[in-house]
Structure 1
Amino acid sequence: MTKIEFRNVYFRYHEDQNWIIEALNFTIEPGENVAIIGHNGSGKSTIAKLMMGLVYPQKGAIFVDGQRVTEDHIWEIRQKIGMVFQNPETQFVGTTVRDDVAFGLENRGVPRVEMVDRIKKSLIDVGMDDYTLHEPHHLSGGQKQRVAIAGVMATEPDIVILDEATSMLDPIGRQEIAKVISRIIKQRRMTTVSITHDVKEVMQADRVIILKGGELYQCLTPRQLLAGEYDWDYLGLTKPFVLSVKEEFEKYGYQFEHTPLNHEELIDALWTYYSKT
């Protein structure tokens, strides 16, 4: 059974405006890691809100685990989804890190003994187990995001939505948080939807959905994205370094067997080539 399905979805916030999401169709299978990209205003964050049932489509239908996203079923659906927002402070409700991670578990009626175990495990997973009694608002940006991730992961969702979850961090913090998220997702084999402008996150996805004006422009793999002709600024992404290096080598006659996704693949391709010459 598909985990997430959009069937001919239309959405706008006001009746007198153009459609923000228009005739949108796609599916995300169980266990997939899908990145959703597009220029500002293309409808990326609105998709996250539609998945969570924070807003509802005017036309079409959205299904999560075979169940239609409606007001009648939204409680059951939200039990299956965890969402990490761009600004972690919007998720804080507790006076301590421990209380904050416990909040979602209390709402779900998780028994106290199990709750204590989940809180401890989630904080260890994100490297914040030494900050249990700290106040969330006094933490650094990266630490706040780690606590927000722990709060989501403690609820053990089937699906995780990352809405620009690393965009407010500096490059080093972004890289650290991306590694934490990637490791936890692989361990728990969750379905993941990453709404992002970070090209490294895009390269780690199984598939990439490109939005253009609220419509599905293309759905492809990261390697296909790198191999195509795209305006990276329009997509809201920085052109990958490995792609720039590849293009420079091709100017001098080097032909790659396939487009490298990362530094490791680039180095392997160059090493193989020069070891034969």
Structure 2
Amino acid sequence: MKMRALFVTVCALCLAWSASARAQLPAETCRDGRAAMDAGDSALAAGLLEECLATSQLEPEAEVQTYAALGAAYLAEDAFEDALSAYNMAFAIADTQHAAIANPTLWRNRGIARAELGQLEAALSDLQHAAGEMPDDVLTFLNMGFVYQQMERHADAVVSYDRIVRLEPEWVGAWLNRSSALLDAGMPAAAVADARQAVELEPENGSSLNMLCWTLIQDGRADTALPLCEEAVAIEPDTGAIVHSHATALEAVGRLDEAQALYQRAHQLDPDDPQITADFERTRHP
């Protein structure tokens, strides 16, 4: 069971606007587009920035930044294909017009769009470039770790998440992601230790309790895991992954009849999860 704890916000994705870029964007729609992004209204910003690009004569660097901001607006709206097109246009203008890529978040954000579209190798290339220029950027390493997990490069994912643990040791997501990667890498005892740290940071967080429950099960300690699973379900009774962990713990301690009902419940909550579906099909009554 893999956990993806990506907390992407509009503010994290927005590119900074330099003073020179502001001076080169006189059109009202351009100003309104920037203001909409600053206010967190990415849908409005996308429309205004599109109009800005269609109606304004921009200097190359200002045009690059405007396309980059448009990409950020699309990214915040989960319009990943549109975001990638905007980022690709920004890079194309920079390349052909010899305009500078002044903000390395452009590489990171295009990497995020590519990852969401399944273009893992290209995403990794962009994210690695961003990491080289922004060695302390949590969002870059978070997405790089996710890409590595998708590519089943589990040791590399551990290294990426380890960087986040060092940068943000008080953030529960850092420990949860590294715990997940350690589990994928075949290191359940280390995964348990990270999950314990997450629970220490947020003892009433259902995801933290669930990760500790799940890692303990994988480490062969279902008896210890079961009460933690019960706590997690009490906090988040309608989360399929958490109900599934509880069912798995019950099955592991020999309480299959109870587990079957919970596998069915987990499948009702999250029918698209392949592991939940497999366990539901395996254990349901003929």
**TM-score with structure 2 length normalisation?**
0.28
Q: Which has the higher strand share?
A: 1
Q: Which has the higher contact order (CA 8 A, sep 6+)?
A: 1
Greater Rg by CA: 2
**TM-score with structure 1 length normalisation?**
0.29
